[in-house]
Structure 1
Amino acid sequence: MSEPVDLVVVAHRLPFELVRDDDGALSYRRSPGGLVSALQSALRNRRALWIGSAGRSCDQGVADALDNPVVAACEFDEIVLDRGVWSPHYLGFCTSALWPLYHSAEVAPVYRGSDFAAYCQVNEMFAARAAARASEGGMVWVHDYQLQLVPSMLRRLRPDVRIGFFLHTPFPAEELFEQMPWCRQLLEGMLGADVIGFQTEGDVAHFLAATQRCLALRSEAGRVVVDEFASRRDVAVGCFPVGIDTELYAAAAAMPEVVERAAQIRGELGDPRTLIVAIDRLDYTKGIDLRIRAFAELLTDRTAHNRGVVMVQKAVLSRESAHEYRRVRHDIERLVSRTNDACGGADLLHVD
């Protein structure tokens, strides 16, 4: 049995994922998305345990094929999910219901009872693992929309630990949120934490309004009052914007090999006077299509065109098995082709 840990981080994904090359060899690579970047600096000098999935299922038969790579001063505990549970949990409830709902229902959410049942099952697995690994009176830090039920489940298993929950996505307006058939269960799950964090003050306001509207709970000075067995418990709710390690990025940008490679890239692009660079995960919420259309508008200004303007958009693939994301990829590829054709065939827009 592994030793208990004072700080346990619980996230749906580990900071790395398993990939298989064309020859069938297995290796790890950094997980896409902002959560890893957000936590990397916070955990760099702290002993912690990170519980999560590396993107492989137990039906792949490779659960013990590789040792955990050293990504930070952190220990890792991998949860391997059965694909029959992972698919309705992640592709179903998380990707088709929560993600669009939390991004203003730009795409209509899809609600299925079987997906929510899988969501509950996965959350129970993560809560049980965290309960088994946290030290007496330790701290458990739960992250993001895939695990919103974990705080309350963990509190029932380990009332001695301190629990934090942070939502990395927006939180929708209460009128929109209450359309979710299981809105009460999600709120009650989050309120199992001692502290709940959001990215913006607007998200905090929406959450507090939802607890009042859906659960009839009152808030006082940024705290939600929860009555448990006739005893009062206050849950702190606040805005804690995520940033980046600016010193790390600045140091990397000044490295001679980075400066040299940047010059090479600019040269490969025709040494434009103005180079616009963007990096996003391929997702309909990122506005990549709007950015490309805005760039196309810029190119209609012949003055800007003559100055030599090139745009490079790095789109990190994710959720390729979801229909909506395959459609987004197809639409962007077609938009890039049309934009470059409109410029007389010049490759002024590059999307990788």
Structure 2
Amino acid sequence: MLWLDQARMDKAAQPVAPPVLEGRLIAVSNRVSRPAKGASPGGLAQALSEALRGAQGMWIGWSGDHGESGAELELEKHGDITFGLLDIEATTFHRYYEGYANSVLWPLFHSRAELVERTTGDFAAYTEVNAAFADQVAAIAQPNDIIWVHDYHFLILAEALRERGVDGTIGLFLHIPFPPLEIFRRLPEARTIVRALAAYDTIGVQTRRDAARLAECMAAIGEGAIRTARGGFRVDTFGETVHIAAKPIGTQPEEIRASLAKPRPPEVDAYLRMTADRLTLIGVDRLDYSKGIPNRLRAFERYLRADPSRAATTIFTQIAPLTREGVAAYGAVRQEVERLAGRIIGQFGGFAASPLSLLTRPVDRVGVAHLLAGSDVAMVTPLADGMNLVAKEYVAAQDPNDPGVLILSRYAGAAEDMTDALIVDPADIEGMARAIEAARLMPKGERRERYRSLMGVVERTRIDRWIDACMKDFVAA
């Protein structure tokens, strides 16, 4: 049956052309990725660039500068994408971004209500920034344009656009998970946000679980009704109707292969040569409390403690670039990770080698691709995650004849479809340690079978297929 599996993957790999839109596609996100400034890492930047090419697209976001409030958009054209860049005054930006977006919405949506930090004026700043973007988008929007809003930074943007007379199709894609109703209701602005969400025509989320949670929240808080429709839910609430559906985002396997075709960066090449005769594990995450890095390190420590001789034949590489250093919870998780790493190195390391390598700086995409390809095991074990593209990138980077093993948290959005990974609960330290041992002992035949299934998911959820699914939702709206 191997030929049949390969035939299915070949068919899934065929490129998909999205439907032709009558107007332009206008994307709105907190940041943009301009070619002149270098390609930004991450699924959002990659996906939006793909979607906007060939669609007379516009991509509107923060400029990265702190000018005066009310400034006009700065327009830049690169190829067939026009970038609209908006300055945001420094104090307003801090309260909107580090304040409400990342100290309230981010922890709450990742079901970490205990980490929410509220400051007076943060929601007002969030509202002000959404209004500023609405002013600019409304000024340039034309009939038949589709406005595609991205992520938790702009939950209330559609309502602001409707107030400014925009009556075309407006869609939202939420890249992070959506919390259960009992957690979302803790938000004082829950009703305000749900009413604003009802102004969207379509809302895409990463998983079927997130779609069900969002539909339940909107119906319950808005005293509305839920119906199944077009592979998702149609919610009638606050006098509006919104379609909610899971649209799992993916990666682009050919871009991973293109990175692997390039020479290894010298530092990566030296490292992979040094570790060639050892069992190699890898984790690639921003240093974020949602990623479960402390629990992952504890599981690795437990694995080594069960047989200390493993330290000489195993190495775990954790790449964890620092992020949002102005938010207190991120400083706390950094301290915890560095403390655990130091303990592991101190207990199990030697003069010549260490079983753990921790980097808190970025590694470029080519380097990461080669590290993924050269690792026997990938640990993708977040406490909560919208999707986690590292899981898909790891699979795409593997040698089909001798693939590695993916250890995947049940709380990563990717786990909903990537069921042939070794699925773990990141709260179960002993269970994750056993998964490392199972990965070490897994026969090549089983690894290849699991890889074929996982690669099928990677191909079915490629970025071009994700774009196609989202565009079809807009056309049907």
**Taking structure 1 as the reference length, what is the TM-score of the superposition?**
0.84
Distance verdict in 2 for CA 1:14–1:304, change over 3 Å: farther
Quick one: which of 203, 211, 217 aligns to 1:196?
203
Letter of the 2:291 counterpart: K
Deviations along 1:264-289, one digit per CA (max 9) or x if unpaired, are: 3312x443432222211110001111
Describe the SS at the equivalent of 1:192: coil
- Does 1:91 find its partner at 2:91? no
Does the Cα contact within 8 Å between 1:131 and 1:157 map onto a contact in 2?
yes
Does the Cα contact within 8 Å between 2:341 and 2:358 map onto a contact in 1?
yes
Deviation at 1:192, TM superposition (A): 1.0
Does the Cα contact within 8 Å between 1:32 and 1:316 map onto a contact in 2?
no
Residue 273 (structure 1) aligns with: 278
Distance verdict in 2 for CA 1:226–1:106, change over 3 Å: closer
Letter of the 1:105 counterpart: R
Residue 167 (structure 1) aligns with: 174
Gaps of 5+ in 2: 1-22, 360-477
Does the Cα contact within 8 Å between 1:252 and 1:258 map onto a contact in 2?
no
Deviation at 1:94, TM superposition (A): 0.9
Runs of 4 or more above 4 Å deviation: 29-33, 66-70, 259-262
Letter of the 1:35 counterpart: L
Quick one: which of 35, 43, 46 aligns to 2:44?
35
Letter of the 2:64 counterpart: G
Residue 22 (structure 1) aligns with: none
Letter of the 1:257 counterpart: P
CA distance in 2, matches of 1:314, 1:303: 24
CA distance in 2, matches of 1:160, 1:31: 32
CA distance in 2, matches of 1:87, 1:139: 29
RMSD: 2.7
Letter of the 1:195 counterpart: T
Deviation at 1:240, TM superposition (A): 0.5
Residue 227 (structure 2) aligns with: 220
Residue 239 (structure 1) aligns with: 246
Deviation at 1:124, TM superposition (A): 0.4
Distance verdict in 2 for CA 1:92–1:48, change over 3 Å: same
- Does 1:293 find its partner at 2:298? yes
Q: Please identify which structure carries the higher strand content.
A: 1
Gaps of 5+ in 1: 18-26
Does the Cα contact within 8 Å between 2:282 and 2:318 map onto a contact in 1?
yes
Distance verdict in 2 for CA 1:57–1:96, change over 3 Å: same
Residue 347 (structure 2) aligns with: 342
Does the Cα contact within 8 Å between 1:281 and 1:318 map onto a contact in 2?
yes
Deviation at 1:44, TM superposition (A): 4.1
Does the Cα contact within 8 Å between 2:34 and 2:83 map onto a contact in 1?
no
Residue 316 (structure 2) aligns with: 311
Distance verdict in 2 for CA 1:183–1:106, change over 3 Å: closer
Does the Cα contact within 8 Å between 1:41 and 1:245 map onto a contact in 2?
no
CA distance in 2, matches of 1:69, 1:333: 43
Describe the SS at the equivalent of 1:137: coil
- Does 1:324 find its partner at 2:324? no
Does the Cα contact within 8 Å between 1:8 and 1:51 map onto a contact in 2?
yes
Deviation at 1:37, TM superposition (A): 3.3
Distance verdict in 2 for CA 1:238–1:304, change over 3 Å: farther
Q: Name which of structure 1's ranges 77-86 and 299-308 shifts more when overlaid on structure 2.
A: 299-308
Residue 402 (structure 2) aligns with: none
Deviations along 1:212-252, one digit per CA (max 9) or x if unpaired, are: 22110112221112464xxxx43111111111112221232
Mapping of 1:59-98 within 5 angstroms? 70=78, 73-98=80-105
Does the Cα contact within 8 Å between 1:142 and 1:163 map onto a contact in 2?
yes
Letter of the 1:52 counterpart: G
CA distance in 2, matches of 1:279, 1:125: 35
Deviations along 1:279-310, one digit per CA (max 9) or x if unpaired, are: 11110001111112222222224387167221
Deviation at 1:329, TM superposition (A): 1.4
CA distance in 2, matches of 1:290, 1:238: 32
Does the Cα contact within 8 Å between 2:311 and 2:349 map onto a contact in 1?
no
Deviation at 1:169, TM superposition (A): 0.8
Residue 58 (structure 2) aligns with: 49
Q: Name which of structure 1's ranges 297-306 and 141-150 shifts more when overlaid on structure 2.
A: 297-306
Quick one: which of 24, 34, 44 aligns to 1:6?
24
CA distance in 1, matches of 2:99, 2:292: 23
Deviation at 1:126, TM superposition (A): 1.1
CA distance in 1, matches of 2:85, 2:245: 30
- Does 1:179 find its partner at 2:186? yes
Residue 21 (structure 1) aligns with: none
CA distance in 2, matches of 1:197, 1:256: 35
CA distance in 2, matches of 1:304, 1:79: 56
Letter of the 2:227 counterpart: E
Distance verdict in 2 for CA 1:73–1:305, change over 3 Å: farther
